Amino acid sequence: MKHLNCKNCGAPMLLDASGMTAVCHYCGTKYVLNHEDTDYFRGFYRRMTEFLSGGADEQARRLKADALWQDADEQAFDCTDGSRIEIKYMYSYTLPGVEVYVARRNIIFHFLTDGAAGSERFRRAVSLLDYPSADTRSLQSFFPTISGGFELCDGTCVLVVSKDMDEYPLCLFGNLPGRHVAWIISRMENLCCVLEYNALVHPAINVNSLYINPYTHQASLYGGWWEADRRNTATRGGVLKTEQNLTALRDTAANLLGYAKAGEVRVTDDVPKALADFINSKPRGNAYDDFAYWDEMLIKAYGERKFISMNADDEQIYGNAR
Protein backbone atom coordinates (compact mmCIF):
# COMPACT_ATOMS: atom_id res chain seq x y z
CA MET A 1 0.00 0.00 0.00
CA LYS A 2 0.95 3.64 -0.20
CA HIS A 3 2.50 4.87 3.00
CA LEU A 4 0.95 7.78 4.76
CA ASN A 5 4.02 8.82 6.73
CA CYS A 6 4.89 12.24 8.12
CA LYS A 7 7.25 14.14 5.83
CA ASN A 8 8.78 15.81 8.86
CA CYS A 9 9.51 12.90 11.23
CA GLY A 10 8.52 9.72 9.34
CA ALA A 11 5.86 8.67 11.85
CA PRO A 12 2.58 7.19 10.61
CA MET A 13 -0.10 9.82 10.03
CA LEU A 14 -3.80 9.55 10.73
CA LEU A 15 -6.52 10.77 8.42
CA ASP A 16 -9.13 12.96 10.03
CA ALA A 17 -12.80 12.04 9.78
CA SER A 18 -13.23 13.99 6.53
CA GLY A 19 -10.48 11.92 4.92
CA MET A 20 -8.92 15.10 3.53
CA THR A 21 -6.34 16.04 6.15
CA ALA A 22 -3.62 13.89 7.67
CA VAL A 23 -2.16 14.60 11.10
CA CYS A 24 1.07 13.39 12.70
CA HIS A 25 0.55 12.75 16.41
CA TYR A 26 4.29 12.75 17.06
CA CYS A 27 5.29 16.18 15.79
CA GLY A 28 1.94 17.81 15.05
CA THR A 29 2.52 18.21 11.31
CA LYS A 30 -0.71 18.47 9.33
CA TYR A 31 -1.21 18.37 5.64
CA VAL A 32 -4.00 18.33 3.12
CA LEU A 33 -4.01 15.30 0.87
CA ASN A 34 -4.37 15.66 -2.86
CA HIS A 35 -7.41 14.10 -4.51
CA GLU A 36 -5.62 11.03 -5.70
CA ASP A 37 -4.34 10.22 -2.20
CA THR A 38 -7.68 10.93 -0.56
CA ASP A 39 -9.39 8.52 -2.96
CA TYR A 40 -6.68 5.92 -2.46
CA PHE A 41 -6.82 5.91 1.34
CA ARG A 42 -10.58 6.07 1.51
CA GLY A 43 -10.70 3.08 -0.84
CA PHE A 44 -8.08 1.22 1.15
CA TYR A 45 -9.76 1.80 4.50
CA ARG A 46 -13.13 0.86 3.02
CA ARG A 47 -11.70 -2.45 1.83
CA MET A 48 -10.22 -3.10 5.27
CA THR A 49 -13.46 -2.30 7.12
CA GLU A 50 -15.34 -4.68 4.83
CA PHE A 51 -13.33 -7.38 6.62
CA LEU A 52 -15.02 -6.30 9.83
CA SER A 53 -18.57 -6.76 8.65
CA GLY A 54 -18.18 -10.54 8.52
CA GLY A 55 -20.14 -12.90 6.34
CA ALA A 56 -17.39 -13.96 3.99
CA ASP A 57 -16.44 -17.63 4.04
CA GLU A 58 -12.92 -18.84 4.65
CA GLN A 59 -12.01 -18.98 0.98
CA ALA A 60 -13.38 -15.52 0.18
CA ARG A 61 -11.43 -14.09 3.11
CA ARG A 62 -8.24 -15.72 1.92
CA LEU A 63 -8.68 -14.24 -1.55
CA LYS A 64 -9.22 -10.77 -0.09
CA ALA A 65 -6.11 -11.11 2.06
CA ASP A 66 -4.08 -12.37 -0.89
CA ALA A 67 -5.13 -9.34 -2.92
CA LEU A 68 -3.91 -7.08 -0.12
CA TRP A 69 -0.51 -8.72 -0.21
CA GLN A 70 -0.06 -8.51 -3.95
CA ASP A 71 1.67 -5.15 -3.79
CA ALA A 72 3.84 -5.96 -0.77
CA ASP A 73 7.25 -4.27 -0.62
CA GLU A 74 10.52 -6.00 0.10
CA GLN A 75 13.34 -5.29 2.47
CA ALA A 76 16.55 -7.14 3.38
CA PHE A 77 18.73 -7.03 6.49
CA ASP A 78 22.35 -8.22 6.62
CA CYS A 79 23.20 -9.90 9.90
CA THR A 80 26.60 -10.06 11.60
CA ASP A 81 26.49 -13.87 11.43
CA GLY A 82 26.57 -13.62 7.62
CA SER A 83 22.92 -14.45 7.08
CA ARG A 84 20.52 -12.22 5.18
CA ILE A 85 16.90 -11.75 6.28
CA GLU A 86 14.53 -10.93 3.45
CA ILE A 87 11.01 -9.83 4.23
CA LYS A 88 7.88 -8.92 2.32
CA TYR A 89 5.86 -6.34 4.13
CA MET A 90 2.52 -4.66 3.56
CA TYR A 91 3.01 -1.64 5.71
CA SER A 92 5.87 0.16 7.43
CA TYR A 93 6.42 3.28 9.45
CA THR A 94 9.04 4.99 11.53
CA LEU A 95 8.74 5.92 15.18
CA PRO A 96 11.45 7.82 17.05
CA GLY A 97 14.44 5.43 16.77
CA VAL A 98 12.48 2.45 15.43
CA GLU A 99 11.33 1.30 11.99
CA VAL A 100 8.39 -1.11 12.00
CA TYR A 101 7.57 -3.51 9.16
CA VAL A 102 4.32 -5.45 9.11
CA ALA A 103 4.81 -8.77 7.33
CA ARG A 104 2.27 -11.54 6.96
CA ARG A 105 3.18 -13.64 9.97
CA ASN A 106 5.61 -11.32 11.71
CA ILE A 107 6.21 -7.79 12.80
CA ILE A 108 9.82 -6.67 12.39
CA PHE A 109 11.09 -3.96 14.72
CA HIS A 110 14.33 -2.38 13.48
CA PHE A 111 16.00 -0.46 16.29
CA LEU A 112 18.04 2.26 14.63
CA THR A 113 19.71 3.87 17.62
CA ASP A 114 21.56 2.74 20.78
CA GLY A 115 22.54 -0.70 19.45
CA ALA A 116 20.62 -3.51 21.12
CA ALA A 117 19.25 -1.38 23.99
CA GLY A 118 15.77 -0.80 22.51
CA SER A 119 15.43 -4.46 21.64
CA GLU A 120 16.50 -5.40 25.18
CA ARG A 121 13.94 -3.01 26.69
CA PHE A 122 11.26 -4.68 24.54
CA ARG A 123 12.31 -8.18 25.63
CA ARG A 124 12.52 -7.21 29.27
CA ALA A 125 9.10 -5.54 29.41
CA VAL A 126 7.47 -8.54 27.71
CA SER A 127 9.24 -10.93 30.13
CA LEU A 128 7.55 -9.11 33.04
CA LEU A 129 4.14 -10.26 31.82
CA ASP A 130 2.47 -12.92 33.90
CA TYR A 131 -1.11 -14.17 33.62
CA PRO A 132 -3.79 -15.15 36.13
CA SER A 133 -3.35 -18.93 36.27
CA ALA A 134 -6.88 -19.81 35.12
CA ASP A 135 -6.52 -17.94 31.88
CA THR A 136 -2.92 -18.34 30.76
CA ARG A 137 -3.31 -19.68 27.29
CA SER A 138 -5.90 -17.31 25.86
CA LEU A 139 -4.44 -14.10 27.31
CA GLN A 140 -0.88 -14.84 26.29
CA SER A 141 -1.78 -14.81 22.61
CA PHE A 142 -2.71 -11.12 22.84
CA PHE A 143 0.82 -10.12 23.83
CA PRO A 144 4.10 -10.45 21.91
CA THR A 145 5.82 -13.77 21.30
CA ILE A 146 9.37 -12.98 20.27
CA SER A 147 10.53 -15.33 17.54
CA GLY A 148 14.00 -13.93 16.91
CA GLY A 149 16.56 -11.20 17.40
CA PHE A 150 19.45 -10.31 15.09
CA GLU A 151 22.42 -7.99 15.18
CA LEU A 152 22.97 -6.29 11.86
CA CYS A 153 26.24 -5.42 10.13
CA ASP A 154 25.58 -1.68 10.52
CA GLY A 155 25.44 -2.01 14.33
CA THR A 156 21.65 -1.82 14.52
CA CYS A 157 19.35 -4.54 15.75
CA VAL A 158 16.21 -6.33 14.60
CA LEU A 159 13.55 -8.01 16.74
CA VAL A 160 10.92 -10.29 15.22
CA VAL A 161 7.51 -10.77 16.85
CA SER A 162 5.04 -13.40 15.61
CA LYS A 163 1.53 -12.55 14.64
CA ASP A 164 -1.40 -14.36 13.17
CA MET A 165 -1.93 -14.03 9.41
CA ASP A 166 -5.29 -12.38 9.99
CA GLU A 167 -4.00 -9.74 12.38
CA TYR A 168 -3.51 -6.21 11.02
CA PRO A 169 -2.40 -2.97 12.65
CA LEU A 170 -5.46 -1.06 13.78
CA CYS A 171 -4.35 2.05 11.86
CA LEU A 172 -5.04 0.28 8.53
CA PHE A 173 -8.78 0.40 9.20
CA GLY A 174 -8.97 4.20 9.26
CA ASN A 175 -11.97 5.72 11.02
CA LEU A 176 -14.51 3.21 12.32
CA PRO A 177 -18.21 3.36 13.20
CA GLY A 178 -19.15 3.60 16.90
CA ARG A 179 -20.16 -0.03 17.28
CA HIS A 180 -16.78 -1.24 16.10
CA VAL A 181 -15.02 1.24 18.35
CA ALA A 182 -17.12 -0.19 21.21
CA TRP A 183 -15.83 -3.75 20.84
CA ILE A 184 -12.30 -2.46 20.40
CA ILE A 185 -12.65 -0.55 23.71
CA SER A 186 -13.78 -3.81 25.37
CA ARG A 187 -10.68 -5.58 24.09
CA MET A 188 -8.41 -2.70 25.15
CA GLU A 189 -9.93 -2.86 28.64
CA ASN A 190 -9.04 -6.59 28.70
CA LEU A 191 -5.46 -5.74 27.75
CA CYS A 192 -5.27 -2.95 30.36
CA CYS A 193 -6.44 -5.40 33.06
CA VAL A 194 -3.51 -7.69 32.22
CA LEU A 195 -1.15 -4.70 32.41
CA GLU A 196 -2.71 -3.72 35.75
CA TYR A 197 -2.34 -7.28 37.07
CA ASN A 198 1.37 -7.00 36.31
CA ALA A 199 1.76 -3.41 37.56
CA LEU A 200 2.91 -2.49 34.04
CA VAL A 201 2.45 0.76 32.18
CA HIS A 202 2.50 0.77 28.38
CA PRO A 203 2.41 4.44 27.40
CA ALA A 204 2.25 3.66 23.67
CA ILE A 205 -1.13 1.95 23.38
CA ASN A 206 -2.34 3.35 20.05
CA VAL A 207 -3.52 2.46 16.55
CA ASN A 208 0.02 1.44 15.58
CA SER A 209 0.84 -0.83 18.52
CA LEU A 210 -2.58 -2.54 18.56
CA TYR A 211 -3.35 -5.27 16.03
CA ILE A 212 -6.83 -6.58 15.39
CA ASN A 213 -8.18 -9.73 13.86
CA PRO A 214 -11.18 -8.44 11.89
CA TYR A 215 -12.76 -11.91 11.68
CA THR A 216 -12.65 -12.87 15.35
CA HIS A 217 -12.80 -9.30 16.73
CA GLN A 218 -9.78 -9.83 18.94
CA ALA A 219 -7.12 -7.23 19.67
CA SER A 220 -3.48 -7.73 20.57
CA LEU A 221 -0.89 -5.32 21.93
CA TYR A 222 2.26 -6.11 19.96
CA GLY A 223 4.09 -2.80 19.48
CA GLY A 224 5.74 -0.10 21.56
CA TRP A 225 7.04 -2.38 24.31
CA TRP A 226 10.41 -0.58 24.42
CA GLU A 227 8.50 2.22 26.21
CA ALA A 228 6.78 -0.06 28.74
CA ASP A 229 7.92 -0.81 32.28
CA ARG A 230 6.64 -1.25 35.84
CA ARG A 231 4.59 1.65 37.16
CA ASN A 232 6.49 4.43 38.97
CA THR A 233 9.62 3.64 36.92
CA ALA A 234 11.43 6.75 35.73
CA THR A 235 11.82 6.61 31.94
CA ARG A 236 12.92 9.07 29.28
CA GLY A 237 9.28 10.05 28.88
CA GLY A 238 8.80 10.68 32.64
CA VAL A 239 7.63 8.56 35.57
CA LEU A 240 5.17 5.87 34.45
CA LYS A 241 1.67 6.06 35.94
CA THR A 242 -1.08 3.42 35.63
CA GLU A 243 -3.46 6.10 34.45
CA GLN A 244 -1.46 6.34 31.21
CA ASN A 245 -2.80 2.94 30.06
CA LEU A 246 -6.39 4.12 30.43
CA THR A 247 -5.71 7.57 28.95
CA ALA A 248 -4.09 5.93 25.92
CA LEU A 249 -7.13 3.64 25.59
CA ARG A 250 -9.41 6.70 25.42
CA ASP A 251 -7.19 8.57 22.97
CA THR A 252 -7.09 5.48 20.73
CA ALA A 253 -10.90 5.25 20.74
CA ALA A 254 -11.09 8.99 19.91
CA ASN A 255 -8.60 8.52 17.03
CA LEU A 256 -10.72 5.69 15.60
CA LEU A 257 -13.71 8.04 15.53
CA GLY A 258 -11.62 10.67 13.71
CA TYR A 259 -10.64 12.93 16.63
CA ALA A 260 -7.12 13.90 17.63
CA LYS A 261 -7.67 12.97 21.28
CA ALA A 262 -10.17 12.07 23.99
CA GLY A 263 -12.16 15.00 25.35
CA GLU A 264 -13.14 16.12 21.85
CA VAL A 265 -15.60 13.35 20.96
CA ARG A 266 -19.07 14.59 20.09
CA VAL A 267 -22.43 12.82 20.04
CA THR A 268 -23.59 11.98 16.50
CA ASP A 269 -26.06 9.60 14.85
CA ASP A 270 -23.30 7.01 15.03
CA VAL A 271 -21.86 7.88 18.46
CA PRO A 272 -24.34 7.53 21.36
CA LYS A 273 -23.93 9.86 24.32
CA ALA A 274 -22.70 7.11 26.68
CA LEU A 275 -19.92 6.19 24.24
CA ALA A 276 -18.80 9.81 23.83
CA ASP A 277 -19.06 10.38 27.60
CA PHE A 278 -16.92 7.33 28.34
CA ILE A 279 -14.19 8.30 25.89
CA ASN A 280 -14.16 11.88 27.18
CA SER A 281 -14.18 10.75 30.84
CA LYS A 282 -11.31 10.70 33.31
CA PRO A 283 -9.99 7.15 33.80
CA ARG A 284 -11.12 5.32 36.94
CA GLY A 285 -8.46 4.54 39.55
CA ASN A 286 -7.50 1.16 38.10
CA ALA A 287 -8.22 -0.98 35.04
CA TYR A 288 -10.68 -3.30 36.81
CA ASP A 289 -12.87 -0.39 37.95
CA ASP A 290 -12.48 1.22 34.55
CA PHE A 291 -13.66 -1.96 32.81
CA ALA A 292 -16.72 -2.12 35.12
CA TYR A 293 -17.46 1.52 34.31
CA TRP A 294 -17.11 0.79 30.58
CA ASP A 295 -19.49 -2.17 30.83
CA GLU A 296 -22.07 0.12 32.38
CA MET A 297 -21.60 2.74 29.64
CA LEU A 298 -21.63 0.08 26.91
CA ILE A 299 -25.09 -1.04 28.02
CA LYS A 300 -26.26 2.59 28.14
CA ALA A 301 -24.85 3.17 24.66
CA TYR A 302 -26.12 0.08 22.92
CA GLY A 303 -28.78 -1.35 25.18
CA GLU A 304 -29.12 -4.34 27.43
CA ARG A 305 -27.49 -7.42 25.96
CA LYS A 306 -30.08 -9.81 24.63
CA PHE A 307 -30.55 -13.31 25.94
CA ILE A 308 -27.67 -14.84 24.11
CA SER A 309 -25.88 -17.82 25.57
CA MET A 310 -23.35 -16.95 28.24
CA ASN A 311 -20.53 -17.88 25.93
CA ALA A 312 -21.58 -15.55 23.16
CA ASP A 313 -18.81 -13.07 22.48
CA ASP A 314 -18.98 -9.54 21.22
CA GLU A 315 -18.58 -10.70 17.66
CA GLN A 316 -21.96 -12.41 17.76
CA ILE A 317 -23.51 -9.51 19.58
CA TYR A 318 -22.04 -6.63 17.60
CA GLY A 319 -20.57 -8.41 14.57
CA ASN A 320 -23.29 -7.72 12.04
CA ALA A 321 -24.32 -4.34 13.33
CA ARG A 322 -22.89 -1.38 11.53
Closer residue to Zn ion, CB minimum distance, 3 or 273: 3
CB of 8 to Zn ion, least distance (A): 4
Interatomic CA distance for residues 19 and 10, integer angstroms = 20
- Strands laid side by side in the 210-213 sheet: 168-169, 210-213, 218-221
What backbone phi and psi angles, to 5 degrees, belong to 73? Answer: -90, 165
CB of 54 to Zn ion, least distance (A): 35
Closer residue to Zn ion, CB minimum distance, 93 or 294: 93
CB of 7 to Zn ion, least distance (A): 8
CB of 28 to Zn ion, least distance (A): 7
Give 285-292 contacts, CB < 8 A, sequence gap 24+.
286/196, 286/242, 287/189, 287/192, 287/193, 287/195, 287/196, 287/242, 287/245, 287/246, 288/193, 288/196, 290/189, 290/192, 290/246, 290/249, 291/189, 291/190, 291/192, 291/193
> How many other CB atoms sit within 10 Å of the CB of residue 194?
21
Closer residue to Zn ion, CB minimum distance, 31 or 288: 31
Residue numbers at the binding site for Zn ion (CB under 5 A): 6, 8-9, 11, 24, 26-27, 29
CB of 29 to Zn ion, least distance (A): 5
Interatomic CA distance for residues 263 and 259, integer angstroms = 9
Interatomic CA distance for residues 83 and 198, integer angstroms = 37
Closest among 93, 195, 182 to 143, alpha carbons compared: 195
CB of 228 to Zn ion, least distance (A): 22
Closer residue to Zn ion, CB minimum distance, 22 or 181: 22
Closer residue to Zn ion, CB minimum distance, 94 or 244: 94
Closer residue to Zn ion, CB minimum distance, 29 or 162: 29
